Structure 1
Amino acid sequence: MIENTFCLSCSVESRVQDLLTDPGGRVHPQLAGVATFLLDESPTERTHQLLNRAQWITVLRSLIESGDPITHASLDRLKQGTHVRHLRSVLVYTGVLEDRGHDLDTVDAWIDELLDGLPHEIALLLRPYASWSVLHRARHRARRSAAHRPSAGSVSRYARTRITVAAQFLTWLTDNDLDLAGARQADVDRWLDDGTTTRQRLRDFLQWANSHHLAADLHVPALGREGLPQHLLGDDQRWALLRRCLRERELDLRLRVAGTLVLLYAQIPTRIVELTTDDIVTDDTGTHLILHTVPVLIPPPLAALTSELLEDNEQRPRQQPPDDPVWLFPGSRPGTHFSGSRLSTNLNKTAGIFTRPARGAALCALAADLPAPVLADLLGVSVAAATRWSALAGRDHLDYLAARIDNPPE
């Protein structure tokens, strides 16, 4: 009797070969790096799961079956979604495609799809705003920040968020028998009050509409500039949440570290997820975290959590080229970090930490102890913003300035 032995590794290797074989019966010449990624860099069990149910695998197979070269343009022509974005990141990581630094080319197709689902009158208003204003500035933003390695998709999110919020507001006006030309401040205030702070991104659209004589001079508070007192956690709440982050082992480790950084150092999720292992420096004096450009000595409990997070990350397969930054909060797509917006959502829903009031409380506490210029350097905020927080904290720093005069830095 011959004993049949199931070999998962052999099965996966055969299926990867089938996946990457073109209509001519050869492994697609572009995709040798993808084979290496699936067979050598990913655990066999993980590749087995991907082959069974990952949508990006299905999309890749359809592109291979077409027999055409795989390019950014061929991906741009597909309906955009998480699976297409993930496939693009895999193809960039494996060297099939060059990293173009942003995915703005996909936004054009997304705009067409969005406008096709809206009433004709709303689409007519949104088209010039989306194409001539938002996308124009987004492309300039992408070129300007390319040297600083902007987070993947950040420029695209900048564009999509503003366009989506404008579409939601115009739809709300229509549902309430109103139009943009006749909208008044009370209408804007009511719409803002009924939603999240994301709606304040409407400010950009209303400024554009007013400059083109399509709307009255309607006002939306700038995020982080107005209404500061009502967006602060109480001191007791802040310390209770800090204790939870530092002590509650049932809470996800990433949320514990991220929550502490929000509550202690007023960091925002989009900056937290951009931290790399190079931003954590340990020496004889302790563990330092580089905030903006300044190394800050962090307390031992946070240092212990950070060390634990680094150890956890080392257990995961490294899905990025050796020269790329090693993210402290790695994402699911190769070479990317975790999503800032998703981290914010997880902090809210799982840890009970609402970013804006928590960050406001931390800023107020820091401003009570540090002069505005020092706070600005530490956190990378403007001196004007730091000054506002110092005023809110109710402290002046004449004693600090006097000490600097008596003991100038060497």
Structure 2
Amino acid sequence: MGLLVENTYCLSCSVESRVEDLLTDPGGRIHSQLAGVATFLLDENPAERTHQLLNRAQWITLLRSLIESDEPITHASLDQLKQGNHVRHLRNVLVHTGVLEHRSHDLDTVDAWIDELLDDLPHEIALLLRPYAAWSVLHRARRRAAYQPTVSPSVARYARARITAAAQFLTWLTDHDIDLAGACQADVDRWLDDGTTTRRRLRDFLRWANSHHLAADLHVPSLGREGLPQHPLGDDQRWALLRRCLRDRDLDLRLRVAGTMMLLYAQIPTRIVELTVDDIVTDDTGMHLLLHTVPVLIPPPLATLITELRAGKEQQPSQRSPDAPAWLFPGYLPGTHFSGSRLSTNLNKSAGIFTRPARGAALCALAADLPAPVLADLLGISVAAATRWSALAGRDHLDYLAARIDNPPE
């Protein structure tokens, strides 16, 4: 027993010494800016974990090189690096520990990513793709970010997805000896049929290309927004899954809460993981969830699960930056929320909940009880989309529209 204590003590001393060496600048000092990193490595992680990080983590090596450069560590300096998981992880650690300020999006990282992408593409494709990427996708994303300070952190991911789809399609055309101007609808349909639905992100590029007279008016179906939605769950299936989420204690608590939010409120995984503790409001009438801008009363069984989820979160050590959101579903990386795609996969594999059918069933249920304008305000969707769901639910709210005409809101 004494030997175990002695070995643990030695490991702790070794780790503490190595962390000090890591954070010491060329002048022999640890800058006060990095004090939070020391706390993160020594207090928030067990010695064994920090020992592993110091031995193997690429972001540790990158941090050391930045310290040795004796230059200020900023978002801009990280943006200039070749973007990868180690850069992303280091940025998250630095934001989490207060070295860098939290920013609501990573659009600045997309510039370097575009340069890397275009460097690996044939000159003709890069020449065509750069104006679309820089002047269309990024320009629009930055304009939204300028006017919407709470823009989703996933905005950079969506920008990369659109640019990637365009690059893949142009590469496919080149491989088949077809130029963009000569591409026809059959070519687009063939390319779409050979891949997953993510290829429909090409829609944005083709609209841009047509508006600049670079391509014909080619059509790509949007992701589930045209016509009536198909294959939602039946009521019996939906209620069976709801009962499991609310009652099955063997199911991960995060999945129980997320699954219930999807089946009750038609929330998609990417929206669910972006919820913060501030989106859950409790008053004399009960617990409410802020959907879009509308507070919705949470039924007691779900309120109990959310309370349990928040209690478990509060028991975990947190040294996050004061400006960083307090995520209801925190991610594995410090300061981040859980991955929406991972949540979707986990709901599918562990709970048997598929996003599109489950959300479709919830939207049908909501549309059966709410007029389309109210549903649109509640969920932040277009009135046209809400109207399609109302049509699928088989309900006609003409009486509501007539009442609004006779009695317009003040």
The two structures have a TM-score, normalised by structure 2, of: 0.88
Question: Partners in 1 of 2:80 and 2:398 — Cα distance?
Answer: 61
Structure 1 residue 145 and structure 2 residue 148: aligned?
yes
Letter in 2 for 1:366: L
Residue in 2 that maps onto 1:328? 328
SS of match in other structure, 1:288? strand
Residue in 1 that maps onto 2:159? 159
Contact 1:242/1:263, CA 8 A, preserved across alignment: yes
Contact 1:319/1:335, CA 8 A, preserved across alignment: no
1:141-183 per-position Cα deviation (integer Å, ceiling 9, x unaligned): 221222x2x343x231122111011112222223334332222
1:373-410 per-position Cα deviation (integer Å, ceiling 9, x unaligned): 22122212232322221122111135667899999999
Describe how 1:290-305 pairs up with structure 2 within 5 A: 290-305=290-305
Structure 1 residue 391 and structure 2 residue 394: aligned?
no
SS of match in other structure, 2:182? coil
Question: Partners in 2 of 1:404 and 1:140 — Cα distance?
Answer: 34
Contact 1:267/1:359, CA 8 A, preserved across alignment: yes
Structure 1 residue 354 and structure 2 residue 354: aligned?
yes
Residue in 2 that maps onto 1:236? 236
Deviation at 1:370, TM superposition (A): 1.2
Question: Partners in 2 of 1:190 and 1:358 — Cα distance?
Answer: 29
Change (3 A) 1:323 1:383: same
SS of match in other structure, 1:230? coil
Contact 1:42/1:317, CA 8 A, preserved across alignment: no
Structure 1 residue 267 and structure 2 residue 270: aligned?
no
Letter in 2 for 1:15: R
Change (3 A) 1:22 1:271: same
Letter in 1 for 2:185: Q
Structure 1 residue aligned with 2:139, among 106, 113, 136? 136
Letter in 1 for 2:370: L
Question: Partners in 2 of 1:231 and 1:100 — Cα distance?
Answer: 39
Letter in 1 for 2:233: L
Letter in 1 for 2:232: L
Structure 1 residue 25 and structure 2 residue 25: aligned?
no
Q: Which moved more, 1:377-386 or 1:109-118?
A: 377-386
Residue in 1 that maps onto 2:363? 363
Question: Partners in 1 of 2:401 and 2:128 — Cα distance?
Answer: 53
Change (3 A) 1:198 1:130: same
Structure 1 residue 117 and structure 2 residue 117: aligned?
no
Change (3 A) 1:325 1:73: closer
TM-align CA RMSD: 2.9
Deviation at 1:342, TM superposition (A): 3.0
Question: Partners in 1 of 2:74 and 2:290 — Cα distance?
Answer: 38
Describe how 1:61-80 pairs up with structure 2 within 5 A: 61-80=64-83
Q: Which moved more, 1:242-251 or 1:80-89?
A: 242-251
Contact 2:102/2:321, CA 8 A, preserved across alignment: no
Question: Partners in 1 of 2:77 and 2:389 — Cα distance?
Answer: 49
Question: Partners in 2 of 1:249 and 1:173 — Cα distance?
Answer: 51
Residue in 1 that maps onto 2:56? 53
Number of residue equivalences: 406
Structure 1 residue 5 and structure 2 residue 6: aligned?
yes
Question: Partners in 2 of 1:402 and 1:136 — Cα distance?
Answer: 41
SS of match in other structure, 1:228? coil
Residue in 1 that maps onto 2:213? 213
SS of match in other structure, 1:5? helix
Question: Partners in 2 of 1:122 and 1:241 — Cα distance?
Answer: 47
Deviation at 1:57, TM superposition (A): 1.4
Contact 1:92/1:98, CA 8 A, preserved across alignment: yes
SS of match in other structure, 1:23? coil
Residue in 2 that maps onto 1:315? 315
Question: Partners in 2 of 1:380 and 1:50 — Cα distance?
Answer: 42
Unmatched 5+ residue regions in structure 2? none
Question: Partners in 2 of 1:258 and 1:340 — Cα distance?
Answer: 11
1:12-63 per-position Cα deviation (integer Å, ceiling 9, x unaligned): 3212101101233322454223223333444545434433433211210122
Deviation at 1:116, TM superposition (A): 1.9
1:63-104 per-position Cα deviation (integer Å, ceiling 9, x unaligned): 222333323333223221122112112223333334454322
Q: Which moved more, 1:211-220 or 1:117-126?
A: 117-126
Question: Partners in 2 of 1:398 and 1:214 — Cα distance?
Answer: 44
Question: Partners in 2 of 1:118 and 1:44 — Cα distance?
Answer: 45
Unmatched 5+ residue regions in structure 1? none
* Larger RCO, structures 1/2 (Cα 8 Å, 6+ apart): 2
Residue in 1 that maps onto 2:179? 179
Residue in 1 that maps onto 2:251? 251
Change (3 A) 1:347 1:194: farther
Change (3 A) 1:227 1:233: farther
Residue in 2 that maps onto 1:289? 289
Contact 2:279/2:289, CA 8 A, preserved across alignment: yes
Letter in 1 for 2:58: Q
Q: Which moved more, 1:323-332 or 1:75-84?
A: 323-332
